[in-house]
Structure 1
């Protein structure tokens, strides 16, 4: 039998609260915090709030990254797809950095996310 094949048993990592329950709680807190931040962006429409724009932009990108990363880990596991799995993981990381740069540029050089939400809501 070849070591490292798909049919080999999986080695379980040692239990860790920081990777288990704390990680799960952070994901839920992040998802729940998007609702009041989006509502605050709507309430403060017409005004420039760079801190709210930054928090909303960072939270949206982190929430999306965590969701896409979970899909890659679940469906394109590096054990089954030794080349495609890590490639997609690094592609996601690169795309996340690109989106963060784009959101930063949009918040500093354009109308910002709070104004965008207000304009989309009123359209």
Structure 2
């Protein structure tokens, strides 16, 4: 028996058990170890029960997110033209924070789902809420006791022309 023939016949027998095991997903550990039978209520022909409509979820939530995103475009333009109107500046800052909060909330909901990460997902959601509240307090302080976001951006835009520090 030549070495080539041995290699072609013996190699699949040696490699296949390891390769097949590497790609085999199997059953989830909880399902493999559970001895209790699954209980399904109703029959196949019973209609699915849907949750009650809630304005915080579904289409209303999606529509609000899209309207807020679309409203940011003219809002940025209006604050740039109006030259540091405190009311418009506060609305812009609040809209940016709300838009960011909803975006991060969607990321956490999608990737740290409560069924898969019950503790970490909850910690991260509360962390996001606390950070959003902290940012809102900081923006309020900055808007009421300092120059505001629009004026800060204008000073930063013109900083290279005047060669002055921003803190004057």
Task: Output the TM-score relative to the length of structure 1.
Answer: 0.82
Matched with 2:66 is: 28
Kept in 2, the 8 Å contact 1:57–1:113? The answer is yes
Kept in 2, the 8 Å contact 1:41–1:117? The answer is no
Cα-to-partner distance string for 1:33-91 (whole Å, 9 max, x where unaligned): 1111111111122xx41211110111000000000000000001111011100000000
By relative contact order (CA 8 Å, sep 6+), the higher-ranking structure is: 1
Give unmatched runs, 5+ long, in structure 2: 1-33, 36-48, 160-168
Matched with 1:43 is: 81
Once superposed, which parts of structure 1, at least 4 consecutive aligned residues long, lie more than 6 Å away?
none
Give unmatched runs, 5+ long, in structure 1: 3-11
Kept in 2, the 8 Å contact 1:31–1:63? The answer is yes
Matched with 1:98 is: 134
Aligned CA RMSD, in angstroms, stands at 1.9
Structure 1 residues 35 and 73, CA gap change in structure 2 (3 angstroms) = same
SS in 2 for 1:27: helix
Matched with 1:64 is: 100
